[in-house]
Structure 1
C-alpha cells in the first residue's frame, strides 16, 4: 500500500519487520507511561481520533476505493471498529492500569492462538485438530502461569489487570475472525481508517459513561510524548509499514510479529524503569508460543522453508 517509488527507498523487508515489531512493542511501554497522565479510555480514544483521520486521509490520497459502498464494507468496518479498535484497546488500557507493559505484551501474544481457535469454531473451512486443542491448552496455561493465581491473590488488582488485558486479546481475535468471511472491496488503509474513526467514537462514548473528563488530563511532557508516539509512530507510521509488509510477505509471516513485541517491551521496560520480568512471565510466554507452534505448525514450517537459502535461490 506504499507507492512503488517510496517502496524502493525503504530498507530490506527483514529490517521493516523488526521495525514494526519495535514500534508496536514500544507501544505497550508508552501506554504504561501515558496512563499516569490520562484517564484510560479517553487516552485510547484520543489516540485513534488522530490516527484514524491520518490513515483515512492517506487512503483518500493514494487509493481509488476508499468509500464504503456495500453491506460487506459496512460490516467489516463495524467488526474492526467495535472489536479490534474499541474492544481490544478499551480492555487493554484498563488492564494496563494494573500491570506493566511488558507483562501486557506477553498476554496479548496469546491473540494468534485465540484467533485460530475462534476460526475453527466459527468458520466452516477451519478445523482444529487434537494437536490444535493441545496448543490451545498450552496457550491458556501460559496465561495462567503469567497470572500466578492462588487463593490469596485471586482477586488482586494485578490478576484483575491480567484478566482485562486477556479480554482485550479475546476481542481482537474475535474481530479478526468476524472479518474473514466478509468480501469487502475497500482498500486496506481505507478499511483501517474508517474502523479507527468508528472505534474512537465508541471509546469516547465509553469514556463519557465512565465519567472520564478532559480536565483530568495532565498535559505534561511525558503525557504529550506518549500520545504523540502512540498516534504518529505506533499508529500512522507502523500501520503504513504493516500495509507494505502485508503486500510483501503476506499475513502468515507478518502475524509472527506478535512474538517479537514482548521482547521489545521487556527490553524497554528494563532500560527505562529498571524492571525485569519475572521468571514465571518468561515461562508463560514460552508456553504461549508453544501453543501457537502446535496450532500453526504447518504455517511455521512453510515460513521456515520460505526463509531457507535454497528456497530463496529458487
Structure 2
C-alpha cells in the first residue's frame, strides 16, 4: 500500500474512532433518535439530488437503511444516551464481526473454519471481560443495546454483500435517505415532539458541528474514502485498519472526555480486537490446519466477508472506560428509557 494510502486508512480509522466522542457530545444537544434522524438527513441532503439513481434494487437500499440506520445506529445512540461511554461503545460494537460470521453461515452457507471459530470465541471472551469490568453499577441496558446494535450491523453487512453496490458512496447516500422518516416517527412517539422542538430551538454551533461531523465526516467522506481503498487494494490489506477504530475511540474518549481506561478494559480490548482479526481477516491459518484457500479446486467457495465487514460504518459502522464526567444532563424524553443524568 502506498504511503499516502496507508495514512488515509489510518485517518479513516481515527475519524470513525473520534465519531463516538462526537456522538456523546451530540447527545447533550438532541434526544438520541432525533439526533440519529438528523445525522442521516444531513448525510442524504443535498447529495441525493446529485449522485444519480441507485445502481442496485430498492430492496437492498431499504434493507440496509433499516438495518444500519434504524437498528444499528438507533440502538447505539440510545445505548450511549443510557450512559454507555464513548470508548466502551466503540469497543463493544466490534462484536459485529462475530454476528456477521454467524449470519453468513446461516444465510449464505459460509462455514466458519477453525481459525474463524477461534476468533469468535476470543472476541466473545473480550466482551465478557468488558462486561465484568463495567460491573453491576454500569449501564446494563446500554451494554445490551450496544450488542443489539452490533447485531444490526451484522445484518446490514450481509445485505450489503448481497447488494454488491458498484458505487459505494452513491449507495450510502441513498441508504441514508431510508432511516430518516422511521427515526423521526420513533422519536415523535417515544421522545415526544416537545423534546424535538426544544432541541431545535436551542440549536447552537456545537450541535450543528456534531451533526455535520457524524453525517459528512464519518458517513459520506469516511465511507467514500474507505470504498476507494477497497477498490484499489485487496480487502485483506485494507480490513485490518478497521481494528484501529476502538483504539482511537478509547484514546480520544480518554483525552477529550476524561474517561479513564482501566487495565482490565485494555485486556478486553486486546481480546476483542484480536478475536475480530481472526474472525474477519482472510488468509490466516493455524498450524496443522489447511487454510481455506487450499481447499480442493472442486469445492465451490463463496466470497469472503472481509471487504463488506470493513466497509460497514464503524463508524460505522466501529470502548470507553469507567465513569467519565456525567454532570451533563440529556435532552428530556417521554417514553424512551430514562436518559443519562449522572
Fold match (TM-score > 0.5): yes
Distance 1:189 1:297, change over 3 A: closer
Which whole-Å CA distance do the structure 1 matches of 2:270 and 2:76 have between them? Answer: 21
Given that 1:134 and 1:294 are in contact with CA atoms closer than 8 Å, whether structure 2 keeps it comes out as yes
Aligned to 2:170: 190
Map 1:161-240 → 2, pairs under 5 A = 161-182=142-163, 187-213=167-193, 214-217=196-199, 218-240=202-224
Aligned to 2:17: 25
Query: Please, which runs of 5 or more residues in structure 2 have no aligned partner?
Result: 286-290, 292-342
Question: Could you say what secondary structure the match of 1:260 adopts?
Answer: helix
Aligned length: 280
* 1:113 correspondence with 2:98: yes
Aligned to 1:73: 57
Which whole-Å CA distance do the structure 1 matches of 2:50 and 2:11 have between them? Answer: 21
Residues 124-151 of structure 1: per-residue CA shift (max 9 Å, x gap): 2x1113443332222122112112179x
Question: Could you say what secondary structure the match of 2:33 adopts?
Answer: helix
- Report the Cα offset of residue 168 of structure 1: 0.7
Query: Please, which runs of 5 or more residues in structure 1 have no aligned partner?
Result: 1-9, 61-65, 303-314
Given that 2:26 and 2:207 are in contact with CA atoms closer than 8 Å, whether structure 1 keeps it comes out as yes
Question: Could you say what secondary structure the match of 1:227 adopts?
Answer: helix
Task: Give the aligned CA root-mean-square deviation in angstroms.
Answer: 2.5
Aligned to 1:295: 279
- Report the Cα offset of residue 158 of structure 1: 1.3
Distance 1:49 1:105, change over 3 A: same
Choose from 14, 39, 42 the match for 1:47.
Answer: 39
Using structure 1 for the length normalisation, give the TM-score. 0.80
Given that 1:40 and 1:94 are in contact with CA atoms closer than 8 Å, whether structure 2 keeps it comes out as yes
Given that 1:117 and 1:136 are in contact with CA atoms closer than 8 Å, whether structure 2 keeps it comes out as no
Given that 2:172 and 2:220 are in contact with CA atoms closer than 8 Å, whether structure 1 keeps it comes out as no
Which whole-Å CA distance do the structure 2 matches of 1:167 and 1:224 have between them? Answer: 28
Using structure 2 for the length normalisation, give the TM-score. 0.74
Aligned to 2:296: none
- Report the Cα offset of residue 11 of structure 1: 7.6
Aligned to 2:267: 283
Distance 1:141 1:52, change over 3 A: same
Distance 1:300 1:34, change over 3 A: farther
Given that 2:236 and 2:282 are in contact with CA atoms closer than 8 Å, whether structure 1 keeps it comes out as no
* 1:137 correspondence with 2:121: yes
Which whole-Å CA distance do the structure 2 matches of 1:229 and 1:182 have between them? Answer: 27
